[in-house]
Chains A and B, each alone.
Chain A
Amino acid sequence: MSDPKSTLSLRRFQSLLALALMVGALSILSDNFLTPENGWNILRQISVNLCLSIGMTLVILSGGIDLSVGAILGLAGAVAAGLLKSGLALGAFDARLEFTVSGAILAGVAVGAAAGWFNGMAITRFQLPPFVATLGMLSIARGLTMLWTGGFPITSLGPTFGFLGTGTFLGMPMPVWIMLALVAVFVVVTRRTRFGRHLYAVGGNERAARLTGLAVPRIKVAVYTLAGALAGVAGLIVTARLDSAQPNAGLGYELDSIAAVVIGGTSLSGGRGSVWGTVLGCLIIGVLNNGLFLLNVSPFWQQVIKGAVILLAVALDKMNSAGRDSA
C-alpha cells in the first residue's frame, strides 16, 4: 500500500527488461552462460551482496546510509571463526569457553547486530549523521577484526561450518537457501508489518512521522541493528565458503550493496523503494559480473561498465520521476 504503485511498477518493469535483455544477449554471446551450473553460480555469487543489500535497503528506506556493513561482515566472520576454532579465553577463571558450530553462528550474528545497534544509538541518541556514524563504525569494526585475528586468516573451520557456504540441501546451495529465506522474510517485514510501514513513513517524512506519534528513534535503532545482523549473516557465508576468515573480508562491499539498492530503484532520499527492487538490482549486478567474466572482458573494464550501469539506472529513475518531483 505504501508503494507509489504506478511509478514503482514502471521502474520494476524497466529493471526486469534490462535483466531480460542482458540474459538474452549473454545467452547468444556465450555458450557457457545459459547453463544450470552457471545459474547456480550467479545465485551463489550474489547471495552475500543480497544479504548486505537487504539491510542496506531498510537503512536507505529510513532515510539513512550504512557504510559499515562490509567491515561488520569481516568482524562477524572473524569472531565466529575464532570462537569455533579456539573458543573464548576466560582469563579470570583460567578456562576456555568452547563454542559449537551453532553457538559460533549465533555469536557472529550477535556481533553484527551489536555493531548495528551501536550505529543506531550514535545516530539517534547522539544525533550523528548516519554517514559519519557508520564511517566511524567501518574503521572500528575493521580495527577490531585486525585485533581479533592478529592480521592472519583463521582457517580450517571444519566441514560442519563449511556446509553453510559450500553445502547443498535438496539440490540447492546453502547460501541460496539463506538468501531466499531472508528475501521472503524481509519482503513480508517491509510490506506487511507495522514496523515496515513505519519505516517508509520515517524515510518519507521524519517530521510528519514524529508528529503522528511514531517512535522514530526506536525504528531507526531497529533498522541499523537489522542491517548489522544481516551483515553478520553475510560474514558467516563468506567465511564458510572459503573455510577461512580473512581479516580483509568484505572490504568495499558496502559500495556494491549501495549500488544494488540504487539500481533496484530505491531512492537515496528515503521513503521510496522495495526489497524486490533490490533483489533485481543484485541480479543485474550479478549477471553483469558473470557475463563480463565469461566474455573475457578485462576486470578493469568490468569496473568501468558497472559504474556506467549505476549511472544509467539512476538517470532513468530521474527521468521517470521528472515532473513529479519538481517544485
Chain B
Amino acid sequence: MAADSDLILAADGIVKSFPGVRALDGVSLRVRRGRLLALLGENGAGKSTLMNILAGVFPPDAGTLTLDGAAVRFPNPQAALAAGIGIVFQELNLIPYLSVAENIFLGREPRTRFGFIDYPRLNADAAALLRRLELAVPPTALIADLRVGQQQLVEIARAVSQEARILILDEPTSSLSAHEVEVLFGVIADLKRRGVALVYITHKFEELARVCDDVTVMRDGRVVGEAAFPDLTRDALVRLMAGREAKETFQKTPAVPGAELLRAEGLTLRGPGTGAGRSSLVDGVSFNLRRGEVLGLFGLVGAGRTELLEILFGLHPGRATGRLEIEGCAAFPASPADAIAAGLALAPEDRKRDGLVLPMSVAANASLASLGRTLRAGLVDADREAAYIAPYIERFRVKTPSLDQLIVNLSGGNQQKVILAKWLATGPKVLLLDEPTRGIDVNAKREIYAFIDELAQLGLGLVVVSSELPEILALSDRVMVMCEGRKTAEFTRAEATAERILAAAFPVTTATAA
C-alpha cells in the first residue's frame, strides 16, 4: 500500500439503511492520490450506495468522511463536486436533446458580458475535451444521436472537465468498444500522473491489470478484503470474491433426481439494439432439469443468466427462439400466465421492482398468483384468503406482525420468503430463482438455502441463478456456467470447484489476467 501521506479521502464506519435492507454496514475506504482503487463485489454488495454517499447524493446514517484530514459532510452533489469529488454514474445522466457541449458544461456554461451563453467558447472548450478522449463527434451534435458508448465518453468528458481531484467511475466501460476502452485507460493513466485519485467499479477482471493499484472487495454491505493489486494472486482474489459463510453454514441433502421436468434446446435471444456489440443476449443455450434437482446457474454480470430465465418464463415471446419441453411436452410460454399454467414460477432478481406490490399487504402479495383458489361465491373472502395463504407464510417462517402488515415494512429476507410463499401456493413444478439471496442478511440467507433444499426434496426442480460462488457450490446438484450469452461449461456437484467455474465464466481473453 502507498504511504499515508497520499491519503486524500477516507470513509470510516459508513452505515446506510433503506427500508428492509441495510445496504452498508460499517464500511471503511481509503482513497489515495495518483492511485486507482478498484471496488469489486457483486450487484447489491453496496458499491453504488457507497459511491453515492461519497458523491453527496445521499447522506450516510452513520460514519464519517474525511477529506484532506478534515471531516466533511456533503448535503448535495454540488457540495461534493465543489470539494473536488466527481462521479460518472453507471446509468447515463445526460439530457438527450441538448448538444454534447451543452451537456458537458451543464450548469457551468461560460457567459458573455451580457449574461448569455458564450457558445463559441463553450463549443471550443468541448472540442478540446473530445479530442483528448478521441471522440469524433462535433460538440454541437445532439446526445440523442450518439451511440451509447459515445454517450458514456461524453459523461467521462464532463467528469474530466470538472477538474476533480477524486474521480469515481461506476462501470465506465460497460458500453464501450475495445478501442474506446483503450482511450479511456490512456486518460486514466494521464489523470493518475497528475495526482488525481480514482475509484473504479467494475465487473471486468481483465481491466484490473491495466489500471488498478489497490483493490477493495465488498459483499453484503461490508468490506471483506483490501489489498494492493500487485500483491494479489488470482486465487486470493477468488477467495475474496467468494466468501465463506455459505459452505460453512449449510449442509445440502444429497439429491436423488427423478424424471426430466424441463428440457431446453438452443435457446436464443437476440439483443434489441443495432449497436456494434454482440447480437445475442442468449446464444444457443441447451440444458435440462430433473425432478428434485437444483441446477446452479453461474455467470458474471451480463452473461445472460437473467435473460435465460426470462425466456423460460415467457417474457420474450417474439424475440426468443429454440425448443422447450416441459415434462416431455413441447411448450414455449408466450406470457408469464402461460408459464405459470405450465408449472413454472419466477422469483425475480430485483424484488422491489419486479416482485412485490409495495402498497399491498403481506397476504395480498402472497395470494396474488393464487387468488382464484380462495374465492367464495366468486368474491374475495378475507378469511378464506388468510386461511389459504397462512400455512405458506408459516412454512417459510416469514417474520411479520400480521398478514395485514404492508410488505414494504418487512426486511429483504422476509420479503423474499413472501415471494417464495406466493409461488409455492400456485403448486409449481419448476422454481426459477434469480439471485434469491441478494441484499438479505446472513441468517435469512441460511434459511433460504434450507428452503431450497427442502423444495428440491419435495420433488420440485429449481434453477438458481447466483453471482456468489459459494452459494452456487453449496446449493447445486449441477452447475451450468454462462459467459457472454453462451453456455460455457456444465459440472456435476463432484466436479464443480471455484476455479473451474470461474475459468468458464470469464471471457477467453482474461486467461492471462491476474
Q: Residues of A at under 8 Å CB distance from B?
A: 1-5, 188, 191-194, 196-198, 200-201, 204-205, 207-215, 267, 271-272, 324, 327
Contact = CB atoms under 8 A, between A and B. Distances in A.
Contact of B359 (A191, A192, A214, A271): A271
A201 B381 CA distance: 17
Interface in B372-399: 372, 375, 378-382, 385
B360 A200 contact: yes
A208 B354 contact: yes
Nearest to B382: A1
A194 B354 contact: no
Interface in B351-373: 353-361, 363-364, 368-369, 371-372
Contacts of B187: none
Contacts of B346: 211
Contacts of B379: 188, 192-193
Interface stretch (B165-173, B226-234, B334-342, B464-472): B334-342
Nearest to B363: A1
Contact of B354 (A193, A207, A267): A207
A191 B379 CA distance: 9
B430 to A, nearest CB: 14
B19 interface: yes
Most buried by B among A2, A188, A267, A324: A2
Contacts of A197: 364, 368, 371, 380
Given A201-B368, A212-B336, A2 B361 contact: yes
Contacts of A327: 18-19, 58
Nearest to A273: B359
Interface of B: 18-19, 58, 313, 315, 335-337, 339-341, 346, 348, 353-361, 363-364, 368-369, 371-372, 375, 378-382, 385, 404, 406, 408, 422
A196 B336 contact: no
Contacts of A213: 335-337, 339-341, 369
Given A207-B354, A208-B356, A194 B380 contact: yes
Contact of A196 (B313, B315, B361, B380): B380
Contact of B364 (A2, A192, A210): A2
Contact of A194 (B353, B359, B371): B371
A180 to B, nearest CB: 20
A245 B353 CA distance: 47
A327 B57 CA distance: 12
A292 to B, nearest CB: 35
Nearest to B369: A212
A192 to B, nearest CB: 4
Contact of B380 (A1, A3, A212): A1
Contact of B337 (A215, A267, A324): A215
Contacts of B382: 1
Nearest to A205: B357
Residue among B339, B380, B385 with most chain A CB within 10 A: B380
Contacts of A188: 379
B357 A1 contact: no
